[in-house]
Structure formats: structure tokens, C-alpha cells
Amino acid sequence: MRADPRKDKTLLSALKQVAPGTTLRAGIDDIIRAEHGALIVIGDPNELAFLFSGGMRLDLPLTSQLLYELAKMDGAIVITADGQKLVYANVQLMPDPAIPSSETGTRHRTAERVAKQTDALVISISQQRETVTVFVGDLRYQLGEISDTLARTNQALGTLETYRTRLDQGLTRLTALEFQSAVVLDDVLVVLQRAEMTTRMAEEIERNCAELGEESRLIRMQLDELMEDVPREKAAVVYDYDRSGDPASASRALDGLGRLDYTHLLEFDQLAELLGYRDTNPLDLTVHPRGYRVLSRIPRLPDSVIRQVVRDFESLDAVVRASHRDLEAVDGVGSVRAREIREGLRRLQEHNLVDRYLQL
């Protein structure tokens, strides 16, 4: 599978500039409908001036109508980096001809070379094929039809809902096992795998939303709702079960999880190694949570207090068995929070039993 070039933050930022709902995109759509072509350069005009030959200086606010009219001329159109002002039109661009280019058309070849030679965003609109190609640095991306991208995104959103349901089921089961001190490493790895797959599907949808612009409003609302607490849950699982117990090591494991390629994400040996477990059978190895994830579900309990409780008791089981006086003695807890922790843990156990029953 070819990697998605939109993972590059610079390209993703560029796509937001040409997304539906922007003035630039409205002008581009007008140019395509009129079956015209265009070469548009977006960047600092002073830094790009060494490429210019001829042209007209305008210094006018960018409007879609003006962009459409100027595209009727043969030369390039130059727009400021913020996309607010149209500075030049009918400019002949003279990039370094020694820069390699895989493009065949003159307009696309010029666009690619200008992008590689400068930090500018370059947009090439093909008159014959009615396509829009974005060039940023060494990256090239052809914009798809909005209807096609929207259909793919809605399909991905359906997949995300399925992933989230399976993740919630895994988390509910993990919580029940944690309160019973019956977790094996396999249970943890299943949840981590599902959490990371959910995260990656959400990132794919987020990239599509950047390309869709205002057409993605409803999708973004659903995405935010589905992903509301997934990053927190995923991080808490890693901090709970990282073998070393060192928060810095857990942080590195979390970063490593995000960098795993898809093939390795499916291999439990790789996931176990990230957490510090090597040459073990995940089905046979009993592991014990430190309590980060369960304690984070107690309302109004600050992260600093959670970390202190975990440091003092070292395991969720010890926290559950702790008396009011034991909890009260923890730095930063006190009588009120000690009561909240005990009541919060009791409620979580009760809710977990109900959730487990409803999933049967």
C-alpha cells in the first residue's frame, strides 16, 4: 500500500488552503468549470522574485472572480503566503532546469520545479484533464473529486464506529479483569491494538476532512464524539502496563506504538516488546495495572494526585484495598479526596458490572 502523502504536515496545511469554502478553492472551481488551465504560486513574493520574468503587478485582495479572470492569461498567478492578496499575474516562471521532474506537461513540470526550488505552494490546473495538482517541496498530490472523497470519508467513519465499539468492549472487559486481579498480557495487547487502529482510522478521516473543508462539518462533529477519550485511554493503558514502571519509558513505548507499521501492529510479539516483555506467552503471563486508567475515570481527580497515588501504592489492587486513612495519608489527597476515591472506585465497579451484563 502506498503511503498517504497527506501525513506530511506541510502538505496537509497546503490542502487546507485549497479546501472547499476558501476563496482560493472557489476560484479554482470556476477555472475548471470554464475549462481553463492555470499555474498558481502561493508564497512570499519577495523571496520568489528571482524566478519571475515579466508579468503585471496588481497588489489586489484575492477574490474568486479575479482569480478566474486572470487565469485566462497564459502566465502564472502569484498570491501572498497568507492567501489574502493577489500580487502578480501573467508571470513567466524560470525555475532551475537542472531540477529533476517526472512531469510531462510544461505547466506541471514548471510547478514541480518551482516547488522543489522554493518553499512555495504551487497549484497546477490542467486544462485538458480538468485536474488540480498541488506541489509542496518534493511532494505531489492530486485533488480528488469532492463527492468521491466524501463517500470514502463516510465509509471510513462507519469503520471507525465499528473500531470504537470493539475498543469499548475490550476496555470494559479489561476493567472487569483489573478489579478481579485476573489480567493477562494478551488482554492488554488486544486493547492496545484496537486503540491504535481506532486512532489511525481517525487520523485518516482527519486528513480527508482537511481536504473537504466546509463539506466535512458534520463528519468532524461525529469524529470528535467518537474520539473524545481514546487518546487518554490508550496512554493510560501503556502507563499502567509498561514493564519498567518508569513514566519516561512508558512515554517512549507510546511513541513507538504510533510509529509501528500496520503489519507489526497486528503482531502481538511486537506490541509486547514495546511494553518491555520479551520471549513471553501473552496468554500465560499475569500482569497487574498500576491504576492510572481506572483512577483517571474518577471525576475531578487531578492528574498530579493520580500520579502520587500510583507512586505510593504501586498497583490498582493496593489502591482498591486501601483504607480511608491510607488514602488520606497520600500527599495531596486529604480526607475529601480519599472519600471521593473510595466512592469513585465503588461506582466504577458497579457500572462495569452493568456494562458487562448489557454486552452479553
Taking only the tens place, the pLDDT of each residue in 337-351 is 999 999 999 999 887
Residue 60 CA to residue 72 CA, distance in Å, equals 17
What is the mean pLDDT of the segment spanning 213-223? Answer: 96
160, 202 in Cβ contact below 8 A? yes
The C-alpha torsion from 24 through 25 and 29 to 30, rounded to 10°, is -30
Residue 75 CA to residue 72 CA, distance in Å, equals 9
Quickly state the pLDDT bin for 356 (edges 50, 70, 90): low
The C-alpha torsion from 135 through 156 and 168 to 296, rounded to 10°, is 30
Phi/psi for 184 (5° steps) reads -110, 160
Q: Is the pLDDT of residue 3 over 80?
A: no
Stretch(es) of the chain classified as CATH 3.40.1700.10 = 5-143
What pLDDT sits at residue 96?
Answer: 96
Q: Looking at residue 34, what DSSP letter applies?
A: T
Q: Is the pLDDT of residue 354 over 90?
A: no
Residue 9 CA to residue 26 CA, distance in Å, equals 23
Q: Is the pLDDT of residue 296 over 70?
A: yes
Q: Please give the CATH architecture assigned to the domain spanning 5-143.
A: 3-Layer(aba) Sandwich (3.40)
136, 14 in Cβ contact below 8 A? yes
62, 99 in Cβ contact below 8 A? no
What is the mean pLDDT of the segment spanning 243-257? Answer: 94
Q: Is the pLDDT of residue 250 over 90?
A: yes
Q: Which three cell numbers stand for residue 200?
A: 489511525
What is the mean pLDDT of the segment spanning 238-245? Answer: 95
Closest to 113 (Cα-Cα) out of 82, 143, 76, 73: 76
Going from the C-alpha of 314 to that of each of 43, 251, 285, 322, the distances in angstroms are 54, 18, 19, 12
SS3 59: strand
Count the Cβ atoms, other than its own, within 10 Å of residue 338.
20
| Chosen CATH of 144-284 out of 1.10.10.10, 3.40.50.20, 1.10.630.10, 1.20.1260.110 | 1.20.1260.110
- Residue with cell string 513540470: 109
**Is the CATH number 1.10.150.20 carried by domain 290-360?**
yes
Quickly state the pLDDT bin for 360 (edges 50, 70, 90): very low
42, 56 in Cβ contact below 8 A? no
What pLDDT sits at residue 2?
Answer: 60
SS3 76: strand
Position 159, amino acid: T
| Stretch among 5-9, 44-48, 251-255, 355-359 having the lowest mean pLDDT | 355-359
With residues binned 3-state (H G I as helix, E B as strand, rest as coil), the percentages for the chain, rounded to 5, are 60, 10, 30
pTM confidence score: 0.87
Stretch(es) of the chain classified as CATH 1.20.1260.110 = 144-284
Q: Is the pLDDT of residue 305 over 90?
A: yes
